[in-house]
Amino acid sequence: MMKAGRILLEMLKQYGVDTIFGLPGETTLHLYEEWKTFPDIRHVMVRDERSSAFMAHGYAKISGKPGICESPSPGATHLAPGLLEAQKSAIPLLAFTSDIPLHMEKRNMLTGFDQPNLLRSAVKETMDITRPEDIPFFIRRAFRVATTGRPGPVHLRLPMDMLEMSADPDDLYAQREFSRCPGLRSCADAEQVHAAVDLLEKAERGFLVCGQGTVTSGAWEAVTAIAEQFGLAVGTSIGGKGAISELHPLSVGVVGARGGTSFSNGVLADADLVFFVGSSTDSAGTAGWTLPPRKGKAKVIQLDVSEAELGNNYASDVLLLGDAKATLEAMLAEATRRQLPSRRSRGEELRHQGERYRESCTEGLLCDSAPVHPMRFVCALSPFLSDDAPVVVDPGISAIYPATYLRLGHPGRRFVCNFAIGALGFGLSAAIGAAFAAPGSPVTALSGDGSFGFCAAEMETLARTKANVKFFLFDNRSFGWIRATNFFEFGTSEHFSTDFDATDYCRVAEGFGLRTARIAAPQDLGPTLRAVYAEPGPVFVEVKALPEDQCVPPVPGWARRSAEKGIHTFY
């Protein structure tokens, strides 16, 4: 006979789980009692349940395995923002919440509430485990649901009286094919594959748009091969960054309103065929469905593992339902069968266009004004990032510049952002999760002072765990993105509830026991970055910055309005 907590831990171990993020509570203590003698799975204590879900997100994005978080009953409400981001981002998570005995809920027992109804809209599935002998069944189901089809989070509720029980299950086994994402791959219908190849063969200015699903599928090698086969320019959404080496001649970088440039968006606008792969065709990735225009002349192919996304925003000539990697490989096999010649030579034309665009940004790269221009900061940072080192960004100035100007030379699971929902407070926690997924590499995290207010307590977690995170905080004393949106939408410099008083963030970080540095001017960049990346373990760096209405990021709509107002911006 085994206690319920031991059965749960044994099942998770069989799925290769090595790290769980969470924090203690009275309803979970019976599980913790078993955990004390179960060293195979590390428990990372966090300071807020929302952070535990964001840490699991960062872990999942970098490792390719489902991230795991846990919470006691009163903290289940705090999980909702992190689970919703994972749901909209299609990131596989398992979230365990303990609870009071279910029959006590209507008696007003402390901390009890209807957890499944609260979380149902934020997860793929929510399940109650009421008998310890059912734990293996529910764990298998949770991993299957989280890692197949359109991936996402699964919630499992563990009543505390169930955790006190024992059982002798006869089905203590894992379905190991679902221990990573994607679990089992599906391939699009052969007839549709042939139709897609027909269109690609005829296209002269084809464009491949890769969303986050491309990276989740691990399809970067297939993306490169299909682009070279058909001479396709390749752009990614901000979440799809990593789907191809951004130094490849056919890569034009990020497209859309969060990282796109006049170069990348211009090539997309000129396409005679657009091939969406693993993309939700959301507003950010398409600049409000203007890139490409919904009623444009370009042919459209869409490949997605989710039937709900196929043709959702764009009328498509060919729809491919299946895993990105498996279906792209089937298309390559069809091209080989037809003996189609490679058209990778288009890369030279695109490479020259890209070089001309980057030459136009020289002023930003050489800007000596203080505080440091974010473009100059990102380009100075680039040489310090190893080929496989994760980069995690928070929404705002800390995301838009690295998305645009940080050219990742190696594809893969490296770039972590949260632009499905875009809640603040994501970056630091996700970076800690990424550090546990990639313990041999320093994690670079870029955040803003607006986000910092949501997650400052996790600085203690960072110091305590000694996770190798280099945490850069842009201090522009405001919710800068909202300031800029107000400025460009309403044409007024009068700001409403956006600005902060001055804070010495280095002293705050030092109070948590972290080593710190500050970048206030361009001459600080080289010496500070060399020192930061020479240090083992976590380092906090405050980067002085201007708000976005005074240092306008490359956003298509803002670029147009900046030109009208005579304000210079790099786009």
- Range in 118-122, 211-215, 268-272, 373-377 the model is least confident about: 373-377
Structure tokens, 389 = 């080192």
Query: What is the predicted pLDDT for the residue at 79?
Result: 97
pLDDT tops 90 at residue 281? yes
- Domain 190-350 - what CATH class? alpha beta
- State the pLDDT confidence band at 68, using cuts at 50, 70 and 90: very high
| pLDDT tens, position by position, 555-567 | 888 888 888 887 8
pLDDT tops 80 at residue 274? yes
Question: Which residues make Cβ contacts (< 8 Å) with residue 445, sequence separation at least 6?
Answer: 391, 392, 393, 394, 427, 428, 430, 431, 469, 470, 471, 472
| pLDDT tens, position by position, 49-59 | 999 999 999 99
Q: Do the beta carbons of residue 119 and residue 126 sit within 8 Å?
A: yes
Q: How far apart are CA 158 and CA 128, in angstroms?
A: 7
Helices (H), 361-479: 362-365, 374-381, 397-405, 427-437, 449-455, 458-465
Q: How far apart are CA 240 and CA 414, in angstroms?
A: 10
What percentage of the chain carries pLDDT values higher than 90? 84
DSSP codes joined into one string, 215-284: HHTT-HHHHHHHHHHHT-EEEE-STTTTSS-TTSTTEEEE-SSSS--HHHHHHHHT-SEEEEES----TT
Question: Which residues make Cβ contacts (< 8 Å) with residue 205, sequence separation at least 6?
Answer: 233, 270, 271, 272, 273
Q: Does domain 2-178 have CATH number 3.40.50.970?
A: yes
What percentage of the chain carries pLDDT values higher than 70? 100
Whether the domain at 190-350 and the domain at 361-565 fall into the same CATH topology: yes
Query: What is the predicted pLDDT for the residue at 433?
Result: 98
| pLDDT tens, position by position, 133-154 | 999 999 999 999 999 999 999 9
Question: Which residues make Cβ contacts (< 8 Å) with residue 498, sequence separation at least 6?
Answer: 478, 479, 480, 482, 483, 486
Q: CA geometry: angle at 140 spanning 136 and 144, to 5°?
A: 170
Higher pLDDT, 82 or 552: 82
pLDDT tops 80 at residue 539? yes
User: Can you state the percent helix, strand and coil of the chain, rounding each to 5?
Assistant: 45, 15, 40
* Closest to 470 measured CA to CA, from 557, 559, 389, 360: 389
Q: What is the mean pLDDT of residues 166-192?
A: 97
Q: How many CB atoms lie within 10 A of CB 534?
A: 9
Q: For tokens 């990742």, what's the residue?
A: 408
Q: Where are the domains of the chain?
A: 2-178, 190-350, 361-565
Query: What is the predicted pLDDT for the residue at 364?
Result: 64
* Closest to 468 measured CA to CA, from 445, 496, 499, 446: 445
- State the pLDDT confidence band at 279, using cuts at 50, 70 and 90: very high
- Domain 361-565 - what CATH class? alpha beta
- State the pLDDT confidence band at 493, using cuts at 50, 70 and 90: confident
> Position 430: which residue type?
A
Do β-strands 515-519 and 469-475 pair in parallel, antiparallel, or remain unpaired? unpaired
Higher pLDDT, 322 or 108: 322
Structure tokens, 97 = 């919440």
Stretch (H or E) spanning 53: helix 49-63
> Position 270: which residue type?
D
- State the pLDDT confidence band at 356, using cuts at 50, 70 and 90: very high
